[in-house]
Amino acid sequence: MLQDRRILLIISGGIAAYKSLDLIRRLRERGAAVRCIMTAAAKHFVTPLSVASLSEDKVYDDLWSLTDESEMGHIRLSREADLVVVAPASADLIARMAAGLADDLATTALLASDKPVLIAPTMNLMMWAHPATQANLATLDARGVVRVGPGSGELACGEVGSGRMSEPLEIIAAIEHVLVGDKRLAGKRALVTSGPTREPIDPVRYISNHSSGKQGHAIAAALAALGAETVLVSGPTHEPSPAGVKLVPVETAAEMLAACEAALPVDVAVMAAAVALQPVSGFPLAWAIGLSPFGEFWITVSLLFYVLIVAAWLAAVRLEMRIRGLAREAALNALPLPPAYRKLFRAWTWLAGPILAGMTVVYALMIWQPRLD
């Protein structure tokens, strides 16, 4: 897909600059021609010799080079590329891009470019969350600059949160999306839920599951790659944010429901999250545990399967939102059933959520036996 494509890679200063070496290697493996610009700060983390060896081309770093600038090098570099990629994109370089500065070769080439620009931000989580950085990103978004990442996890500074540069393969996927992406869903809105939820029992403990979020994140990435404006509502997961996707992080099922409702209306919804069982305060459902010999006391943990998310979404059909089940229609069409049975099956899939919710309440009332002193 990238054979004979020309990529101008701008490497800024940051510990994540080492990933740019792997990015160059993987781009070359796919047949892309890579030219590199390094900022002064970038040379503190990776050497121009390493970059030149992997890219098999000269490294450009001096705006005042008599040899290069005699041919208007900063204009030639940006105009001869099919795509400009900034990886890593530091907070400093993002700020200078937003301000339109042109005080070194990297920012001058960016300002002189008429080609698509893709950035892969990386920085400390507090720098990422700072209003100035978010305002700069909003400015770049408005100008059509494409962003991939950052991901969440342990950062080089020892803190944990958003700010990790996307992995080289994720950046390559974003590059392919920009250069050769299929836009058949352009103008459509999509919503995807992903990952687990955490339902607190008390301030220390919670109920959750082992969902990785890989499926939901992959579906969101595929929808975004097809041009859909995609909102990804995700529980706690280590999966990086897909390129071109608006990520809405949540913790609990209630937060996930609220985020889904806030995303309406949409054309496509894929509910891939593994919603955990929810402890419901004041609604004893299951069991009490007596502890002795330290004196009898009871711990009541009420568990209610959170079908309310499904039920709410079924009701949201009235709000002109279409839910497309990934397996329901495919399985239905594959069954040799008469038309009447197909209609009955479709009706059951729409009524299953409310029916299960009612059965859960009835079951709770049947088995709950209040303790009498």
**What's the pLDDT at 216?**
92
Question: In this predicted model, what pLDDT tens digit does every residue of 111-157 receive, in sequence order?
Answer: 888 888 999 998 888 888 899 998 999 898 888 888 887 877 777 76
Residue where one domain finishes, among candidates 181, 199, 232: 181
Distance CA 31, CA 29 (A): 6
Both 255 and 187 in one domain: the answer is yes
Is the pLDDT score of 235 beyond 60? yes
Is the pLDDT score of 250 beyond 90? yes
Query: Which of 8-12, 72-76, 160-164 shows the highest mean pLDDT?
Result: 8-12
Residue where one domain finishes, among candidates 181, 207, 233: 181
Query: Which of 151-165, 213-227, 273-287, 313-327 shows the highest mean pLDDT?
Result: 213-227
**What's the pLDDT at 318?**
41
Distance CA 118, CA 165 (A): 13
Is the pLDDT score of 323 beyond 60? no
DSSP-derived secondary structure for 241-308: PPTTEEEEE--SHHHHHHHHHHH-S-SEEEE--BPPPEE-TT---SEEEE--SS---EEEE-EE--TH
Spell out the long-range contacts of 93-99 with Cβ–Cβ below 8 A and sequence spacing 24 or more.
Answer: 93/10, 93/12, 93/39, 94/119, 94/121, 94/133, 94/136, 94/137, 94/140, 95/132, 95/133, 95/136, 97/136, 97/140, 97/145, 98/135, 98/136, 98/137, 98/139, 98/140
Higher pLDDT, 360 or 47: 47
Higher pLDDT, 237 or 162: 237
Both 139 and 202 in one domain: the answer is no
The percentage of the chain sitting over the pLDDT mark of 90, rounded to a whole number, equals 18
Both 154 and 27 in one domain: the answer is yes
Both 130 and 194 in one domain: the answer is no
| Nearest C-alpha neighbor of 256 from the set 276, 240, 234 | 234
- Concerning whether 157 is annotated as a catalytic residue, the answer is yes
Both 142 and 196 in one domain: the answer is no
Higher pLDDT, 289 or 190: 190
Both 164 and 305 in one domain: the answer is no
Is the pLDDT score of 25 beyond 70? yes
Of the candidate ranges 177-186, 278-287, 333-342, the one whose mean pLDDT is the lowest: 278-287
Both 139 and 224 in one domain: the answer is no
What CATH number is attached to the domain comprising 94? 3.40.50.1950
What CATH number is attached to the domain comprising 330? 3.40.50.10300
**What's the pLDDT at 294?**
35
Is the pLDDT score of 309 beyond 60? no
Question: In this predicted model, what pLDDT tens digit does every residue of 325-344 receive, in sequence order?
Answer: 444 454 445 545 566 655 66
Both 158 and 306 in one domain: the answer is no
Residue with tokens 């996307």: 166
Distance CA 115, CA 143 (A): 12
Both 219 and 310 in one domain: the answer is yes
Both 171 and 187 in one domain: the answer is no
Residue where one domain finishes, among candidates 160, 181, 202: 181
Higher pLDDT, 250 or 300: 250
Once rounded to an integer, what is the mean pLDDT over residues 300-320? Answer: 46
Is the pLDDT score of 38 beyond 60? yes
Is the pLDDT score of 77 beyond 60? yes
Both 309 and 363 in one domain: the answer is yes
Of the candidate ranges 120-134, 241-255, 274-288, 319-333, the one whose mean pLDDT is the lowest: 319-333
Higher pLDDT, 316 or 208: 208
Split at pLDDT 50, 70, 90, the class of 87 is confident
Choose, from 132, 135, 157, 355, the residue flagged as catalytic: 157
Question: Is the whole model's pTM more than 0.75, yes or no?
Answer: no
Once rounded to an integer, what is the mean pLDDT over residues 231-251? Answer: 88
Once rounded to an integer, what is the mean pLDDT over residues 316-331? Answer: 45
Please give the mean pLDDT across all residues of the chain. Answer: 76
Both 207 and 315 in one domain: the answer is yes
Domain with 5 in it? 1-181
Distance CA 174, CA 118 (A): 8
In total, how many domains does the chain have?
2
Of the candidate ranges 236-240, 259-263, 283-287, 354-358, the one whose mean pLDDT is the lowest: 283-287
